[in-house]
Copies of this chain bind each other. A is one copy, B any other.
Amino acid sequence: MALVLKTDIERGDSWHRAFRALLPELELRDWRAPGAPEDIEFALVWAPEQGALAKFPNLKAIFSIGAGIDHLASDPDLPPGVPIVRMVEPGLTAGMVEFVVMSALYHHRFMLDYAVQQREKVWREIEQIPTFRRRVGILGLGVLGSACAEKLCDFGFQVAGWSRRPKSQVGVESFHDADGLTAFLKRSDILVCLLPLTDETEGILNAETLGALPHGAAFISVGRGKHVVETDLLSALDSGQIGGATLDVFREEPLPPDSPFWSHPRIVVVPHIASMTIAETAAEAVAQNIRRVQAGQPPEHIVDLDRGY
């Protein structure tokens, strides 16, 4: 039983170690030298070249290394009938919850303003707003979005979520569909984007939608760069419509050196690190799914390619 792995070299080691402990009968093959294609039953990949997966005739499942699967869905030559599995693993979820809660608290507590004051050596209190008066809105209530929502509720924020279909989560106000979007945005002082990237969600954050937020709202971009019309976001930041932003994802990554995001005083830029799959915990999720497939069951967390996530 062989799995072909496409990841960066440093992380390869941790996957090898983790699988050796969990599933010693699994042979790990390197993407660049996978050996006989017909040996390969599983693929664990991030952003494979288009058409490359079609070369393995006996694939039983394709596992995405990250939470998003847009890097796979964009391949017109995916091998037909092979299930694509999103990454759902506790390390990835925990990392996203840490990053989103930290960033929400950062904007909630005016840390961008305090950073300016520090640079100017100004000692001035900004009046604290209790979380129960602060409304956080999460675009996308999937595994990551709902985990973030739960933790933000624990801090007493007013939390709402927007998704394609209505969702039911304790303490979280649910908005859905195109009709619910404006009402959702109007009540979101801090907006978090955790949507999947699909034809429907590309460019969803633009002049019109950003303009529907309360004046001075904060924006935390942790979905995909293509959710955002970047020039519209810059205009909204420059006008003060958006008061501050934490940006983890961009249309072009690495973010080019001439991007105005780098030096904008109201933007925190991080290099797509909001959450990383942790091989140690993720290998367990993959191993479990491999065992399911070997036992004739379908893997968990299969992607619906028609809806795009």
Task: Assess whether B271 is in contact with A95, with CB atoms less than 8 Å apart.
Answer: no
What is the chain B residue whose CB lies nearest that of A104? B102
Contact of A105 among B102, B115, B126, B128 (CB under 8 A): B102
Q: What residues on B are CB-neighbors of A273 within 8 Å?
A: 109, 114, 125-126, 128
Find A262's partner among B106, B109, B118 (CB 8 Å cutoff).
B118
* CB-based contact A278/B98 at 8 Å: no
Among the stretches A38-46, A201-209, A253-261, A299-307, the one at the interface with B is A253-261
Asked whether A272 is an interface residue with its Cβ less than 8 Å from the other chain, the reply is yes
With A94-B156, A125-B272, A128-B276 as given contacts, are A109 and B117 in contact (CB-CB < 8 Å)? no
Is residue A183 contacting chain B, with contact meaning CB distance below 8 A? no
Contacts of A254 in B (CB 8 A): 123
Contacts A130-B91, A154-B154 given; indicate if A108 touches B114 (C-beta within 8 A). no
A126 to B273, CA, bound (A): 8
CB distance from A285 to the nearest CB of B (A): 15
Name A98's contact: one of B94, B109, B127 (CB within 8 Å): B109
Chain B positions within 8 Å of A114 at CB level: 268-271, 273
Q: Which residue of B lies closest to A14 (CB)?
A: B127
Query: In the complex, are the beta carbons of A98 and B155 less than 8 A apart?
Result: yes
A165: Cβ under 8 A from any B Cβ: no
For residue A124, CB closer than 8 A to chain B, the reply is yes
**Which residues on A are within 8 Å of B, measured CB to CB?**
10, 91, 94-95, 97-99, 101-102, 105-106, 108-109, 111, 114-115, 117-119, 121, 123-128, 130-131, 151, 154-156, 253-255, 257, 262-263, 268-273, 275-276, 278, 280-281
Top 5 A-B pairs, shortest CB-CB distance: A123-B254, A102-B105, A123-B271, A118-B269, A121-B262
